[in-house]
């Protein structure tokens, strides 16, 4: 298991000048920016997912919720748990009543584990969204809180003796 000190020692040589190492809550924390710079209204955090996946270094304002919005609606990571939102427990497709000319005739819906409602998993426009999961994540951000599907957080960690 990695310790926070080990993570800091690994990151230190790669941190740009003027940055502070911001340790994660635990080793499974996907939300916390590992590097921050500035303070107050000019404080920005580096998205750990964009930086590690080759998308580029995305610095986002911490003061004006740009970082929070990016993590929730671009990556689907909840601020309260620092882990991905729970997915729908089931899917269904339902016909729409009187769709417009450029609107979908059928909607994909996902069932929420917490409120048990069927939630639209796509927009009404007959075009793909830039982030396909956006509509589900918007529901999850307002509904789920720290709730997860039973058994979802059972993380398997290999024993060193294996």
Environment class of 62 (CB within 10 Å of its CB; exposed 0-12, middle 13-18, buried 19+): buried
Q: In the predicted model, what is the mean pLDDT of residues 34-49?
A: 91
How far is residue 118's CA from residue 111's CA, in Å, rounded to a whole number? 5
Number of domains in the chain: 2
Query: Do residue 21 and residue 69 come from a single domain?
Result: yes
How far is residue 141's CA from residue 135's CA, in Å, rounded to a whole number? 10
Query: Do residue 25 and residue 71 come from a single domain?
Result: yes
Letter string b/e over residues 76-105, b meaning 16 or more CB atoms within 10 A of that residue's CB:
bbbeebbbbbbebeeeeeeeeeeeeeeebe
Backbone conformation region of residue 65, classed left if phi is above 0, alpha if psi is from -120 to 50, else beta = left
Owning domain of residue 56: 15-75
Q: In the predicted model, what is the mean pLDDT of residues 117-144?
A: 93
Q: Which of 8 and 26 is assigned the larger pLDDT?
A: 26
pLDDT band for position 1 (cuts 50, 70, 90):
very low
Q: What is the pLDDT of residue 13?
A: 54
Query: Do residue 19 and residue 71 come from a single domain?
Result: yes
In a domain, 85, yes or no: no
Residue 129 has phi, psi (to 5 degrees) of: -75, 155
Q: What is the pLDDT of residue 87?
A: 93
In a domain, 154, yes or no: no
Q: Copy the structure tokens of residue 151.
A: 């058994």
Query: Do residue 53 and residue 105 come from a single domain?
Result: no
How far is residue 14's CA from residue 161's CA, in Å, rounded to a whole number? 32
In a domain, 4, yes or no: no
pLDDT band for position 148 (cuts 50, 70, 90):
confident
**Owner of token pair 């689907």:** 76
Is the pLDDT score of 162 beyond 60? no
In a domain, 151, yes or no: no
Is the pLDDT score of 161 beyond 90? no
Query: Do residue 52 and residue 101 come from a single domain?
Result: no
Q: Which of 52 and 119 is assigned the larger pLDDT?
A: 119
Query: Do residue 23 and residue 67 come from a single domain?
Result: yes
Q: What is the pLDDT of residue 7?
A: 53
In a domain, 21, yes or no: yes
Query: Do residue 50 and residue 101 come from a single domain?
Result: no
Query: Do residue 20 and residue 70 come from a single domain?
Result: yes
Query: Do residue 52 and residue 22 come from a single domain?
Result: yes
Is the pLDDT score of 152 beyond 90? no
pLDDT band for position 115 (cuts 50, 70, 90):
very high
In a domain, 95, yes or no: yes
In a domain, 148, yes or no: no
Q: In the predicted model, what is the mean pLDDT of residues 126-134?
A: 90
In a domain, 69, yes or no: yes
Query: Do residue 20 and residue 64 come from a single domain?
Result: yes
Q: What is the pLDDT of residue 5?
A: 58
Q: Which of 155 and 2 is assigned the larger pLDDT?
A: 155
pTM of the model: 0.79
The single-letter DSSP state of residue 128 is: -
pLDDT band for position 52 (cuts 50, 70, 90):
confident
Alpha helices, H only, the chain: 4-11, 48-53, 66-70, 134-143
């Amino acid at each position: 298991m990695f310790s926070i000190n080990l993570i800091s020692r690994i990151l230190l040589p790669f941190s740009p000048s003027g940055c502070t190492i911001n340790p994660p809550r635990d080793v499974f924390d996907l939300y916390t920016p590992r590097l921050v710079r500035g303070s107050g209204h000019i404080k920005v955090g580096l998205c750990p997912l964009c930086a590690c996946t080759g998308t580029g270094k995305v610095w986002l304002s911490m003061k004006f919720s740009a970082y929070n919005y990016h993590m929730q609606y671009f990556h689907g990571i909840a601020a309260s748990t620092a882990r991905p939102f729970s997915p729908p427990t089931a899917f269904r497709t339902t016909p729409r009543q009187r769709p417009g000319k450029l609107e979908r005739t059928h909607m994909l819906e996902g069932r929420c584990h917490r409120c048990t409602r069927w939630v639209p998993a796509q927009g009404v426009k007959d075009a793909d969204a830039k982030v396909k999961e956006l509509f589900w994540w918007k529901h999850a951000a307002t509904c789920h809180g720290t709730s997860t599907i039973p058994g979802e957080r059972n993380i398997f960690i290999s024993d060193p003796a294996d």
